Structure 1
């Protein structure tokens, strides 16, 4: 048994329930995983091969794969041979039962095979996750073979559920724990032995401290800075307390922000129609290339084939503070200086915003705790922060803004975004966490390792916890990420497009999609930047960056820099006519108004009139 007494988990679920993805998330913190595939056959079944390949693409490169195929005894042997430092994921037991019942192996003591497997699971020293289909909720099979399989798999599930430390049932992607073994502290190690910062094994800890009780900061008011030339003067706006229009959330009869919210979707026709129309306008060369992505997005969110450029943009900047190892290597005084500059409309953000005519709304979020020690905030703070973000989007809409640029800055934001990406997608944190750069272009690798350790410890701490949106915000994200998530929800409700920039915006997109899947369709990534964290998260969200020019400014500066280019591209669709070569005849829309008019008495009659005036014999001979 592993040192913290968490050893074996059985994950049950129906077809397409999300059980495999949940099982993979349970072992996401392991440095390497032995993936044991039990599938039998399928060589002549393209659909089955596609399923297997989809599973293979999800596995990190650090994982190794072993196949038991038609030898069920091989799985028992693998569990017996496993070492304490190993992590095994078996997916799934349905394939194993099918191989046990193979007619070519009969007669065979099938019950002995199940008993041997359960004994191997119970004695296995490695960390072990088993995935199995739940057949108890389905219809009784109508064939003897089907009934035999259901009976055998049900018996196997019962035996392994009794042998495992914990059992989870996954329905529609949502896990419910049927059986759980509470972790207990391992014996105290010798004081002379200190764990390596990046040791694969989780650190020895006593019972975690209670979560910090953070009172919702109901008095927080974002500072809104209006653009001006030269440097604009800061203007305070009570955007969190002023009256706004009734929230669609309340109007729909709901009383809380929760998964399954029904928010609007952009037009499914206007975007493709605009891209198709783009091929016919009078442009030299082969067209606008990747900028067509921005045009299609603008058309879909505005529900028109001739979208207008985003002329009134608000930068919503969330300033967050995280404790513990996530903030290693960050100078809090330097962060405070940049936040103050944004509030005053000075510095890089003030200059860029002034050049593009955008205003800035800065909200200082409540401080979050250390994610490696326990939940970073409480449920009440998460709920209040989500509503604060929603009201920020409402305020932007009421102020006449046609787009929101969402970004964040602060201490520990990148490490927290990495932890959220790992918790929601199973990504490898070490590969995603950006390096820590100090002023002058120097890297602080020691601080980076401390951040890695904090993320690793946090992932280990929540390995058995639910991974719902509010759970992730409470355990890892904190108030700043909750506010950003609320902005995305509110923007979708008010049909306002959102330009994402940097780790906070991407992490908020990952959380918001679990509350309302429609939110990601209102988001666009103007510039990819250089961070693997941003690129990987955008790929999961299905967001292709419009431009990839390698900017590494962050805090909203990337999007502000390329915004003029995007505006120009979007405006071309309504400003330019159709190419003359594509016109069927003179007089079609798109020709210059300088074309010489044709007198009415000289005009050729149209085809219907000509036919009507022709003699019957002439029409018959035509």
Structure 2
């Protein structure tokens, strides 16, 4: 048994229960994972293929995939041959049972296959997480094939539950341990837990959301924050301040009780958006009374809003907070940068002026600016230390808490800083193996002129930094400490905190994508709370979005800078979401003239016979199992 007292875990759950996401979180901190896929068939079923592709996009690039769908014995052999330093994620046992019951294998001792699998689970030296559907709570299937499958899967689950160290049941995304418990994978033994507390951050008290601005846009009242490194470290067992005292403090002084933060580490279990509301909202669009082809690419934003709000008729975001994170670096990463011009743009954002201020005023958004401490040159050594990274992560989490406590319903993440493009390129290369020279943006100087000499200097700095860390650990905090910097760390913490508070984030530009890549290795759920409103022109952003599985809503070619692209298209996104929620069903799809489509007791269809109503089964899963009726 491993040092955190588990080697094998069985994760049970119904369809769309979040069981796979929870299982993935248990192994997210492993250096490498072998994803063992059991699904067979379904090549002609687009819906089934889309499910498989969604799982594939969610996996980190460091994971490998192994197919065992051809023969159920392959899984047993794989478990017995796996080494003690390996981590396996088997998803799921429904496909394995389907292979066991395949008529092509009959006659066969199916019970012996199940017993041998359970024995392999007991005897494996590797860490293993097994995902399996829980079908025992549904109706008894009406067909012999369905009943055979349910019985075989139930028997298999019982055998595996007996063999595993821990068993969890996931319902509506919430896990409950039925046997033992399992902490997420950790590479090193956990140290004595501590809570790092920051000095108070000066921040104006947030006001209630303002009504839509009049045509003459008033200046935005900015919320200005100052970043300071942590100065006090106290044990986690220290007594917490009483609630009455805590609630009387300013927003940024509040303890992190709202989101339950205790320690930021790989394998964090954060909420997921609704897995049903988004697809249901997209399907609903097909029946709306809209002319022509409907809302087109804007359907992506509608589906995202529906999933994050857990409703098929989402409301448009009305209380927006623009969070601007300003960082600075040294060395080759800032070659060609006019630091005075960067400081000018940061100061404009703090005053609610400039491009970001004007766009924020048009969107009715307030502005929060946080300056991070300068960091070193990535080519010479780590850009910051571990304590500063931990503090920056927590400060970012607090920014998300502050937005949620102020009643905001969406965050637009922006960055202004020297060398952020180089840092984001280095993070992308270190986490995905991409080629920096293919993704590093060119250096544009005033006058629409490119400084290619500065671009080559930045490339050399990234090359030297990647060579320096070639044998170093590549964990999330290691990447931030070595090459990412404090602004990327704050943005990462904000994404984590936003997911914990179930708040959507509109990412835009290199900083948001770099933070998304790092946050994915701390909690895989974070990317599901992120939307890329506009692709922009940077290959860095497009490739990072592809790795994260983020589909840009629009590709208009905007290149206004971080945060500005998202704010520029935000009014269109809000219009589409409002229109999709308010539009009625097309009259041609209604049962009769005057029907509003909401009648809860429609007349029975004429083809229903006396033996009972017809049942509308979703047969996609059974098609994928390649079942054949006996004698067929």
Residue 288 (structure 1) aligned to one of 295, 300, 306: 295
The structure with the largest alpha-carbon Rg is: 1
1:86-106: CA deviations, max 9, x gaps? xxxxxx9xxxxxxxxxxxxxx
Aligned match of 2:378:
371
Secondary structure at the residue paired with 2:465? helix
Separation (CA, whole Å) in 1 of partners of 2:399 and 2:513 = 18
Separation (CA, whole Å) in 2 of partners of 1:294 and 1:137 = 39
Residue 560 (structure 2) aligned to one of 522, 541, 553: 553
Aligned match of 1:496:
503
Aligned match of 1:322:
329
Aligned match of 2:494:
487
Aligned match of 1:463:
470
Aligned match of 2:585:
578
Separation (CA, whole Å) in 2 of partners of 1:513 and 1:531 = 21
TM-superposed CA distance for 1:411, in Å, is 0.3
Q: In the superposition, relative to structure 1, how do residues 472 and 583 fare at CA in structure 2: closer, same or farther (>3 Å)?
A: same
Indicate conservation of the 8 Å contact 2:259/2:401, yes or no. Answer: no
Q: In the superposition, relative to structure 1, how do residues 136 and 329 fare at CA in structure 2: closer, same or farther (>3 Å)?
A: closer
Indicate conservation of the 8 Å contact 1:298/1:307, yes or no. Answer: yes
Separation (CA, whole Å) in 2 of partners of 1:606 and 1:461 = 69
Q: Provide the TM-score with structure 1 as the length reference.
A: 0.61
Aligned match of 2:219:
232
TM-superposed CA distance for 1:258, in Å, is 0.8
Aligned match of 2:620:
none
Residue 242 (structure 1) aligned to one of 232, 250, 263: 250
Indicate conservation of the 8 Å contact 2:221/2:351, yes or no. Answer: yes
Is 1:309 aligned to residue 309 of structure 2? no
Q: In the superposition, relative to structure 1, how do residues 277 and 137 fare at CA in structure 2: closer, same or farther (>3 Å)?
A: closer
The structure showing larger relative contact order (alpha-carbon pairs under 8 Å, at least 6 residues apart) is: 2
Separation (CA, whole Å) in 1 of partners of 2:320 and 2:520 = 23
Is 1:412 aligned to residue 419 of structure 2? yes
Secondary structure at the residue paired with 2:428? helix
Is 1:512 aligned to residue 519 of structure 2? yes
- RMSD between superposed Cα atoms in Å: 4.3
Q: In the superposition, relative to structure 1, how do residues 246 and 323 fare at CA in structure 2: closer, same or farther (>3 Å)?
A: same
Q: Where in structure 2 are the equivalents of 1:309-388 lying within 5 Å?
A: 309-388=316-395
1:369-414: CA deviations, max 9, x gaps? 1111111111111111111111111111111111000010110000
Q: In the superposition, relative to structure 1, how do residues 315 and 515 fare at CA in structure 2: closer, same or farther (>3 Å)?
A: same
1:97-156: CA deviations, max 9, x gaps? xxxxxxxxxxxxxxxxxxxxxxxxxxxxxxxxxxx9747889xxx9xxxxxxx9xxxxxx
Instruction: Provide structure 1 residue ranges, at least 5 long, that are not aligned to the other structure.
Output: 1-15, 24-45, 60-91, 93-131, 143-149, 151-171, 177-214, 592-604, 611-622
Indicate conservation of the 8 Å contact 1:216/1:366, yes or no. Answer: no
Separation (CA, whole Å) in 1 of partners of 2:302 and 2:86 = 47
Secondary structure at the residue paired with 1:268? coil
Q: In the superposition, relative to structure 1, how do residues 536 and 248 fare at CA in structure 2: closer, same or farther (>3 Å)?
A: same
Secondary structure at the residue paired with 1:395? helix
Is 1:476 aligned to residue 483 of structure 2? yes
Residue 451 (structure 2) aligned to one of 427, 441, 444: 444
Indicate conservation of the 8 Å contact 1:245/1:394, yes or no. Answer: no
Q: In the superposition, relative to structure 1, how do residues 375 and 135 fare at CA in structure 2: closer, same or farther (>3 Å)?
A: closer
Residue 398 (structure 2) aligned to one of 369, 384, 391: 391
Deviates more, 1:535-544 or 1:391-400: 391-400
Secondary structure at the residue paired with 1:361? strand
Separation (CA, whole Å) in 2 of partners of 1:540 and 1:233 = 35
Separation (CA, whole Å) in 2 of partners of 1:396 and 1:137 = 41
TM-superposed CA distance for 1:243, in Å, is 3.7
Secondary structure at the residue paired with 1:287? coil
TM-superposed CA distance for 1:230, in Å, is 3.9
Q: For this pair of structures, how many residues does the alignment match?
A: 424
Separation (CA, whole Å) in 1 of partners of 2:258 and 2:333 = 36
TM-superposed CA distance for 1:507, in Å, is 0.3
Separation (CA, whole Å) in 1 of partners of 2:579 and 2:381 = 52
Separation (CA, whole Å) in 2 of partners of 1:456 and 1:369 = 16
Indicate conservation of the 8 Å contact 2:363/2:570, yes or no. Answer: yes
TM-superposed CA distance for 1:244, in Å, is 6.6
Q: In the superposition, relative to structure 1, how do residues 320 and 562 fare at CA in structure 2: closer, same or farther (>3 Å)?
A: same
Q: Provide the TM-score with structure 2 as the length reference.
A: 0.60
Q: Where in structure 2 are the equivalents of 1:155-194 lying within 5 Å?
A: none
Q: Where in structure 2 are the equivalents of 1:107-126 lying within 5 Å?
A: none
TM-superposed CA distance for 1:216, in Å, is 9.8
Separation (CA, whole Å) in 2 of partners of 1:500 and 1:18 = 23
Indicate conservation of the 8 Å contact 1:313/1:405, yes or no. Answer: yes
Is 1:589 aligned to residue 596 of structure 2? yes
TM-superposed CA distance for 1:271, in Å, is 0.4
Separation (CA, whole Å) in 2 of partners of 1:607 and 1:350 = 56
Instruction: Provide structure 2 residue ranges, at least 5 long, that are not aligned to the other structure.
Output: 1-23, 34-42, 44-51, 67-80, 88-115, 117-123, 125-183, 189-195, 228-248, 607-632
Indicate conservation of the 8 Å contact 1:418/1:432, yes or no. Answer: yes
Q: Where in structure 2 are the equivalents of 1:55-66 lying within 5 Å?
A: none
